[in-house]
Amino acid sequence: MSLAEEEILDEGLYEHYAFTADPGQEQMRVDKWLMHKIANASRSKIQAGIESGAVVVNDKPTKSNYKIKPNDHVRVLLPTAPRDTEVYPENIPLNIVYEDDDLLVVNKPAGMVVHPGHNNYSGTLVNALVYHFGQLPTKDQYHRPGLVHRIDKDTSGLLVIGKTDYALSHLGKQFFEHSIHRRYWALVWGEPKPKDGTIRSYLNRDPSDRRRSKCFESEEDGKLAISHYKTLENFYFTSLVQCELETGRTHQIRAHFSSIKHPLFSDELYGGSEIKKGSALPKFKPFIENCFNIMPRQALHAKELGFIHPTTGENMFFSSELPEDFSTVLNKIRKYTQAAPALLEEED
């Protein structure tokens, strides 16, 4: 069915989502199942939609406690028409790290949105991909050609793109099974304790600010998120950490470090654009404000990416250098701490 035709379904309702359960699907409550299918949808919101009749299973209204069975067809119907999901090609330069017939790896700059969405319908990585590579496969109804995974607009770094249906499916399976190697470098406020550790929580939208993700203790409240970290350098008031993701949730690293009181440096949404430590140091405030001006975004870079090549079976590994804004701020902080070691000890 063409979304452009805006075909009206079921007494004036429009289909926004449609899913078919796998043949081997284990029984699971439909509200919980949909929470894993629809990005950033809370369980309470899904339950409210089910209560209002917006969710049908096999063309019949359902209840939140209905158990999904193999091959069930689930649709979400809403009274408003979905936005035109056509992706238009745009001549935007790409930093291509690697390319073959099956896939490519790109180094995304900070400031570029990965795919069209609310308030960002052009200028995205997907618009550029469609221009440079034409028709690319999609894995679902979200119309995100070639995308296997994504990173935030203001996060820089590596992404793998599938150029064929098989490559997209194979790479997607590796992400689902958590066998993809992903490492990020982040600059965080303070000194995490322990220096090396694991942050584990259940992530969902923050009820008080829907732009943010929030950590919860119960699986009823969100999706499992696990981040392993290792401190690479300490600068007293900030630390450079390496993060390895076991799961890939929205804002996972940003929300996790905020939850342990070490938000990412210059991350306004999660409180990292305020001085958290070192305020008594000489000329510290203007120094930090200058760093914020150089890097007016969260200090987060997707540095390493590794996976099994879908066709050759080869182990592929890629690493990218820190972008100029990140490396400049990092070097300025190194010089500041090296110039005043006695003051830092005195501040302790």
Give the CATH number of domain 96-171.
Answer: 3.30.2350.10
Total number of residues shown for the chain:
348
Token pair, residue 174, equals 């590796």
* Assigned CATH for 182-347: 3.30.2350.10
| Domain positions in the chain | 14-78, 96-171, 182-347
pLDDT in tens, 269-322: 999 999 998 888 888 999 999 999 999 999 999 999 999 999 999 999 999 999
pLDDT tens digits, residue range 247-263? 989 899 999 999 999 99
Tell me the C-alpha distance between 180 and 304, whole Å.
10
Token pair for 107: 């180094």
Q: Residues 72, 152, 154, 267: which is the catalytic one?
A: 152
Residue 91 CB neighbour total at 10 angstroms: 8
CATH classification number, 14-78, choose in 1.10.10.10, 3.30.300.340, 3.10.290.10, 3.30.310.50:
3.10.290.10
Which structure tokens are listed for 304?
A: 């390493």
Q: Which residues pair with 198 in a beta bridge?
A: 228
> What per-residue confidence (pLDDT) applies to 193?
94
Domains 14-78 and 96-171 share a fold: no
For residues 137 and 180, is the Cβ–Cβ distance under 8 A?
A: no
State the pairing for strand pair 55-57/60-61.
antiparallel
Token pair recorded at residue 347:
């501040």
Q: What is the DSSP letter of 72?
A: -
The residue ranges of DSSP E strands in 217-343, in sequence order, are 223-234, 238-245, 300-308, 315-319
> Is this model's pTM higher than 0.85 or not?
no
Average per-residue pLDDT for the chain: 88
22 catalytic residue (yes or no): no
For 79, the token pair is 């009274």
CB 56 within 8 Å of CB 10: yes
- In the predicted model, residues of the chain with pLDDT beneath 70 are 1-13, 40, 80-85, 117-120, 140-143, 340-348
Strand-pairing partners, residue 209, are 206
Per-residue model confidence (pLDDT) at position 6:
29
